[in-house]
Amino acid sequence: MIDWQALLSAFHILGSSYSAWLLTIPGIALGMLGGAIPGVSSALILAIVLPATLWMSLLSALIFMTAIYTGAAFGVAIPAILMGVPGSPAAVATSFDGYPMTQRGEHNLALGLALAASTLGHMGAYLILFLFIGVISHAVLKLGPLEMLLLMLWGLTLIAALRGRYVSRSLLSGLIGILIATIGLSPRDVIRGTFDLPDLLDGVPVVPAMIGLFAASELFNLAGTSYLVQRSDLRTVSVREIARGMLSALYHPVVILRGLLIGATIGGLPGVGAAVCNLVSYAETRRGDKHPETFGKGNPKGVIAAEAGNASSEAGSMATLLALGIPGGASSAVMLAALSLHDVTSGPQFLDASKDIVYAIILNNFVQGAIMLVLGLGLIGLMANVIRIPVRVLIPVILVLATFGSYGLSGNMAGPLTMVVFGFIGWLMQRHDYSVPACVVGLILGGKVENALLQTYQISGGGQLSYFIGRPIALVLLVLLLFSLFSRPIMQWWRRRNPALSDAPQDNAVKSA
């Protein structure tokens, strides 16, 4: 698996190129700060620095860009935890439990958990990448539209879990999200629901809509209060508490491992990426837990699952980028552009021809994890102070930042307008107990699910059963999906019917979960 000659040469390159190391720290810091502003994605930061990478060596450029990627993957968690406003779809699941923790005054703990889970997810996934880069990238190729469809349906089932007071209203809001995602050109090129507005041809811009929904539903709720954290004695920033959070993440190795495995594989799927990883990782952790009802109310495991999932997706998408020249998402597409700027033909032969550079990037990313731990500790120590800001000051500041962020995303007024419109929708939904997170999950996954569904239909000759039977991976995924959906209700039903047997199987069920 490991090419020792190339590894040795990678150490040599890294040891002799100080400029690559010099760029690592500012890269992580830039990514983290950018990611912490709602609406600023890693892809946007990468696109901004892209021209500057022309003046760097290929290795320095790639390391600088992966450092930004690494930093941003954690940075987006900060507003998600502190204000309930995820800055990118990658951090949606982080906000589910992170924000309730903040409201309880456990912001230090939550940020520490997120930082540790991010770092471990990042380093663990790069370790997998280091060992199995060739295998992973080729395994990803084996997943066709049917498998993608099943994976995304897995993410969509989260809608049912994200219920508020009424299950039916949550399902309905998930459906509304999916319907909003169908606005624009369909994968079959049908124009739907655009009201002849050319700006809507590409659909509703997801990130501004998401920020609007979350910001409005959370922030308007706060308008009556004076501070994010109600109890004044808990309104502190404590590095000790953050460190305690970081340590306590270590007590959940299974959650982290699951997250990084999901991230390292799903993250590499072209067009899926971090947006799906964090949702699937969260959904699986919730489902496997003894007390799923505590999720969404500030369960630390929710934060760990989401962050381990989204941080490890970087390694997944780097695997397909470096080994096959296939970008898994917007960020790696910009890196692909950087490769071509450096006259490098990316593609399968890149890994063979430049294995030393690939190893050097991976090795550097281990160190990036360590640097992120230190830089992150400093940054969250600083950022956590937002809990001391009175809400009447905080809300306008966040709204202004988010407006700039969404302007940056769309490059015109379409972004801010979308944010305002969805802010109003979010406020209405929150007021009437319709789950906003369920709507966002539908909005993020709806379009992707439709595309995979259409391709599955086309490739199977109009849904012929023989195609499905010939795909073992899909069948395994289907069984897993059905198991994770129905194992618990079936067990409960079984226990109710056989009360005498209840003790023994219950223990087993918990262990296997």
Partner 1 sequence: MARTTKNVAKTAKAACLIARRPLLTMLAGAVAGSFAARQARADSWPDQPITIVVSTKAGGGFDMMARNLAPALSKELGVPVNVLDKEGGAMVIGTRYFLSQPHDGNTLLVSGPAPYWYADINKFHAGYDLKDFDILNVQWTDKTGVFVPKSGRFQSFKDIIDAIKAHPGEVSCGVVRDSGEFFNAGILINALKLPLSAIRLVTYEASAPLRTAVAGGQLDFALVSLEASLNMLSLIKAVAIFNDVPIPELPGTPTASDVLKAEGITATFVPSSMRALITYADLKEKYPDRYERLRGVYEKILHDPEFLAKAKKQGVGTDWLGPEQSLAQIKAAYAIFDQYKSLLNQ
Give the binding site for partner 1 (CB under 8 A): 47, 51, 54, 140-145, 184-185, 187-189, 191, 196, 198-199, 201-202, 270-271, 324-327, 330, 333-334, 336-337, 340-341, 343, 345-349, 411-412, 451, 454-455, 458-461
Closest contact distance (angstroms) between CB of 327 and partner 1 is: 6
Closest contact distance (angstroms) between CB of 271 and partner 1 is: 6
- Nearer to partner 1 (CB atom), residue 140 or residue 375: 140
Closest contact distance (angstroms) between CB of 440 and partner 1 is: 20
Residue with tokens 């990678």: 10
Alpha-carbon span 79 to 39, nearest angstrom: 11
Closest contact distance (angstroms) between CB of 422 and partner 1 is: 18
Closest contact distance (angstroms) between CB of 88 and partner 1 is: 17
Alpha-carbon span 450 to 389, nearest angstrom: 43
- Asked whether the beta carbons of 286 and 292 are under 8 A apart, the reply is yes
- Nearer to partner 1 (CB atom), residue 34 or residue 437: 34
Closest contact distance (angstroms) between CB of 325 and partner 1 is: 6
- Asked whether the beta carbons of 152 and 448 are under 8 A apart, the reply is yes
460, 465, 467, 468 alpha-carbon torsion, rounded to 10°: 110
Closest contact distance (angstroms) between CB of 187 and partner 1 is: 7
Alpha-carbon span 148 to 477, nearest angstrom: 10
- Helix runs in 91-225, H state only: 92-103, 107-141, 145-156, 158-161, 167-181, 206-222
- Nearer to partner 1 (CB atom), residue 6 or residue 143: 143
- The dihedral through the CA atoms of 175, 180, 181, 187 has a sign that is positive
- Nearer to partner 1 (CB atom), residue 54 or residue 374: 54
- Nearer to partner 1 (CB atom), residue 391 or residue 473: 473
Alpha-carbon span 119 to 116, nearest angstrom: 5
Q: Is 343 left (phi over 0), alpha (psi -120 to 50) or beta?
A: left
- Asked whether the beta carbons of 429 and 439 are under 8 A apart, the reply is yes
- Nearer to partner 1 (CB atom), residue 130 or residue 350: 350
How many residues make up the chain in this entry? 513
- Nearer to partner 1 (CB atom), residue 65 or residue 283: 65
Alpha-carbon span 311 to 304, nearest angstrom: 10
- Nearer to partner 1 (CB atom), residue 292 or residue 348: 348
Closest contact distance (angstroms) between CB of 149 and partner 1 is: 13
Residue 353 CB partners (closer than 8 Å, separation 6+): none
